[in-house]
Amino acid sequence: MTPPPASPDPYGALHHASYDGEGDQPLVRPYAMTGGRTRPRYQLAIEALVSTTADPAHLGTLLPEHQRICHLCREVKSVA
């Protein structure tokens, strides 16, 4: 018995699918936004107040997503 031939594209045909429609967006895997973490770093209560102490002068060293979160949390935000 011989194994099936290896596919030249390990992701298959779906990897190269085109996304034309507005609601037809590519899937972003959670690990792409969490740096590979699969569990939360911090446990938040069901309701939490979130703010940042980040120095705005040093935000340029952060990822764009983290910069946006810091900008949003300059004032205390309620997260539920």
- Evaluate whether 59 touches 70 at the Cβ level (below 8 Å): yes
**What's the mean pLDDT when you consider all of the chain?**
73
Confidence of residue 25 (pLDDT cuts 50, 70, 90): low
CA distances from 22 to 18, 58, 60 (A): 12, 35, 31
Determine the pLDDT at residue 41.
Answer: 79
In tens, the pLDDT along 51-60 reads: 988 888 888 8
Q: Is the whole model's pTM more than 0.75, yes or no?
A: no
